[in-house]
Chains A and B, each alone.
Chain A
């Protein structure tokens, strides 16, 4: 997997598309640099997962961006929103096209920006440029490089100083045709003292998604005292390779909360990192996945403590059934100088069949003495004592197992900030569990 890699697009195609969309020159340059790096760099090396054996040939040329928002049928759109009341604060991207984009006047009046990133690159270049592909660098590996070259649609969410956005902002990303690749980049900038909840859902539209790779990157910048909640549900089809690199950078006293539900039917990479740079910043990450069929899943959550008195917590849960494999890694890194830091993590994997495989890898990397850190990890099957207890109250074995497995995932499900979405997510989990 080295120099003879065939790239899905060439310089000319990237240049044409970028110029054709009227993108600013700096963005065209950023894309071309990404493409160049993609030709030089390797795929990322993941713990116990041979992603070089996955089918990467379908990272394709992004289709033409249809700019006209509002061309989505009302019924189709409704199906993609948690409920009608969210229509006014939502964005929908289907393939490479952004088909719905609204933000209530109330928030616009306060200076909040919630639009697709391509539009933002035109209209708010001064806010986008200092941040885009800075937390996640194009040069990290081939997938980030390709993302830098190919990303489309996406989100730009900007919350001005001391503005608290009291409703969750919602994005729906739909993979629906192989010739129009879904590759959103989510960029959230929360200024000093602001707060916001952002919720996104990835899904495949019917059976038409075909083979494709959905390479996504999310970057969150939380300034002093800002509080960002980011909930992400991934429900892509069996032929999709889902690549999600999420990274938050926290300044002084900022807080980041991640809630991630990996419910895809295909292979996936899920990497969620928080850099606790500012003193007193804190992070909480809850990540769950359910793997079935032949799925190969690799999930990593990483909290990097740089500032003093920083606190982080992570909880990762994976349920694997049939012949699925989930590799779950938690990394807590405490840098020299991060005195008073406290980093905790727990990874738990539940295996429901003899051919399901799971692995939990807790890692603590600590370069400072005056800190607290803890980890817990377990890999196992459903505890027979729990099943006996529930059955002794009259529940059938199936019902008892359902409760135990569901309970295993519940702490994350309960954190989805939109009630309608929590209900959908609950149903999604049950379907993935074959119930």
Chain B
């Protein structure tokens, strides 16, 4: 049931393929306003696929299920429409766009959300940009560098959070935003995310490691295996996974490790 004024992000029975191989196998999740959900799980269980499918990546084919944001059918929207509806995906591997400066891109993105006739003034934009970059301890020169080109892994992640802070989305999905970050960068990124937490924003945080959740405290923790959620709980679930791994859960659920999962998992 939809409560008036309360954002409600609902995923029901979502199935999706990549190159005819089914990766998401009936995924269900409901996120209410202000909630922070974390999804953990071994590599190769479909976590990143979930993020890409929700954003509308053309490589994936949705075969069944529904995704709604405040009752609106997200799956019927193009990628940019989803973004303008309030969805944001902080990516694990952000693209590099040579020749387009970070500042030009950010201003275009902000204006795309604000719509024609309601563009942000240049002065206001510069003020916001400088303020947020300072919070993220980014060198001001990054505003004038080409978007993500030649950025280190950590710089790219900070730049994702910079976009998050400037675009102020209602639902933020962070796909392994902690990968490749040292502890200082992790703290800065987490502080940036935490500064965005509010009653009317929610977060879906995908991570392989519990460590991120020491900095961004989730309300709910879900474990994903074989393309769906197999266990949900509070932050204590993440701690147990960190200490004991996933084996106990597999045993409880009677899940065989498929060879592909294991291969990818061992690499990580």
Contact = CB atoms under 8 A, between A and B. Distances in A.
Interface residues on A, range: 20 to 34
Contacts of B134: none
A386 B79 CA distance: 12
Contacts of A383: 95
B80 A395 contact: yes
B108 A391 contact: no
A3 interface: no
Nearest to A385: B95
Given A393-B83, A394-B83, A404 B163 contact: no
A393 B109 contact: yes
B94 A395 contact: no
Most buried by A among B58, B80, B83, B163: B80
B99 A394 contact: no
Contacts of A103: none
Contacts of B58: 384, 388
B80 A394 contact: yes
A107 interface: no
B138 interface: no
A391 B88 CA distance: 11
Contact of B108 (A395, A408, A411): A395
Given A383-B95, A386-B95, A403-B108, A392 B100 contact: no
A397 B84 CA distance: 13
Contacts, number: 80
For the complex of A and B, the 9 pairs showing the least CB-CB separation, nearest first, are: A407-B99, A410-B99, A394-B112, A389-B95, A394-B83, A391-B79, A393-B109, A407-B100, A391-B80
B190 interface: no
Contact of A394 (B95, B104, B167): B167
17 contacts: A386-B95, A388-B55, A388-B57, A390-B97, A391-B79, A392-B55, A394-B112, A394-B167, A395-B112, A397-B80, A403-B104, A403-B108, A407-B97, A407-B99, A407-B146, A407-B147, A410-B99
B129 interface: no
Interface string A364-393: 000000000000000000011110111111
A289 to B, nearest CB: 16
B153 to A, nearest CB: 16
A410 B57 CA distance: 27
Interface residues of B, number: 30
A162 to B, nearest CB: 34
Interface string B97-123: 111100011001100110000000000
B112 A403 contact: no
Contacts of B57: 388
A411 B98 CA distance: 9
A430 interface: no
A275 interface: no
Nearest to A348: B98
Contacts of A408: 98-99
A410 B89 CA distance: 27
Contacts of A404: 97, 100
A131 interface: no
A394 B113 contact: yes
Q: What secondary structure prevails in chain A residues at the interface with B?
A: helix
A404 B79 CA distance: 17
Contacts of B96: 386
A409 interface: yes
A400 B163 CA distance: 16
Contact of B109 (A385, A395, A407): A395
Nearest to B83: A394
Contacts of B128: none
Contacts of A389: 91, 94-95, 97
Contacts of B105: 390, 393, 403
A57 interface: no
Most buried by B among A392, A399, A407, A410: A392
A388 B78 CA distance: 10
Contacts of B84: 394
B79 A399 contact: no
Contacts of A406: 99-100
A396 interface: yes
Interface in B175-216: none
B206 to A, nearest CB: 15
Nearest to B173: A392
A384 B100 CA distance: 16
A47 B82 CA distance: 47
B78 A397 contact: yes
Interface in B29-61: 55-58
A390 B88 CA distance: 11
B251 to A, nearest CB: 38
B109 A394 contact: yes
Contacts of A400: 80
Most buried by B among A384, A385, A391: A391
A389 B57 CA distance: 9
Contacts of B167: 393-394
B95 A391 contact: no
